[in-house]
Amino acid sequence: MPSGHPAPPARPRTAPAGRLLRALGSWIRSAPGTYLWLTALFVTTVIVHQMSPAFEEEFLRQRSTNIHELSRNPVRVLITSAFWIDSGQWLPYAVLFTVFHAPAERRLGTLRWLAVAATAHVFATLVSESVLAWAISHGHAPAAAANTLDVGVSYALAGVVAVLTYYVPRPWRPGYLFAVLVIYTVPLITNPTFTDIGHLTAALIGLGCYPLTRRGTEA
């Protein structure tokens, strides 16, 4: 027989869109540095799209980590160059940041992730520009290369891609490491540029950041 007590009200089901938004918000909060950086890149990309091509080139050149600007104000350009992209395409970076930077920040923590990214960005820049300076002084590159346009986040990305090697499960780790080395070594062999030197240097720096991964590394 019915007990006479009213049935408890059914809990309203959460809409799939609501669950998705909460999951997305949780993911973003787990890697705040990654998505703050990505947001800054979105803003600067929108700004660049408002510029004429000639003004854009000169504007970005003044924020480039080329030999000319590094000799004038190295700290300024090492910082500002990491907040502009010269391709004008933000969406591919959103994908790359989500696939590589966000997992690295979640595993390393924001400070250690930032240390890897900044170290790769700074030292890969200095190494590649030093090689370019040597090439110019020995006649292997034109003098105009000292004022080339060089902005972007690819060196920091290469360092983070490499340091993630230590978080790949052991059965897959050698394959991941091999892929990283192939991706950053082959261009240097086939048609080398100073940016290829920078990318390989950044990847090696990322691999050298193993001590930062010791806490919480998966076996």
Is the pLDDT at 96 greater than 50, yes or no?
yes
Residue 16 domain-assigned?
no
pLDDT in the model for residue 65: 96
Residue 174 domain-assigned?
yes
Is the pLDDT at 25 greater than 80, yes or no?
no
Q: How confident is the model at residue 174 (pLDDT cuts 50, 70, 90)?
A: very high
Residue 12 domain-assigned?
no
pLDDT tens track for 39-66: 999 999 999 999 999 999 999 999 999 9
DSSP 81-105: GGG--SS---HHHHHHIIIIIHHHH
Spatial distance between the Cα atoms of 115 and 80, rounded to a whole number of angstroms: 17
Structure tokens at 191: 């048609």
Residue 6 domain-assigned?
no
Residue 1 domain-assigned?
no
pLDDT in the model for residue 88: 82
Per the prediction, the chain carries an average pLDDT of: 91
Residue 106 domain-assigned?
yes
Is the pLDDT at 128 greater than 60, yes or no?
yes
Is the pLDDT at 216 greater than 60, yes or no?
no
User: What's the angle, vertex CA 194, arms to CA 202 and CA 204, rounded to 5?
Assistant: 20
Residue 218 domain-assigned?
no
Q: Looking at the 3D structure of the chain, how many domains does it have?
A: 1
pLDDT tens track for 160-170: 999 999 999 99
pLDDT in the model for residue 13: 55
User: What's the CATH number where 55 sits?
Assistant: 1.20.1540
User: CB under 8 Å to 117, separation ≥6 — which residues?
Assistant: 101, 156, 157, 159, 160
pLDDT in the model for residue 14: 54
Backbone angles phi, psi at 98, to 5 degrees: -70, -35
Enclosing domain of residue 180: 30-212
Instruction: Judge whether 78 and 119 are in contact, CB under 8 Å.
Output: no
Spatial distance between the Cα atoms of 206 and 115, rounded to a whole number of angstroms: 10
Residue 14 domain-assigned?
no
Counting residues of the chain whose pLDDT is more than 90, the rounded percentage is 81
Q: List the one residue out of 168, 43, 154 whose CA is nearest residue 97.
A: 154
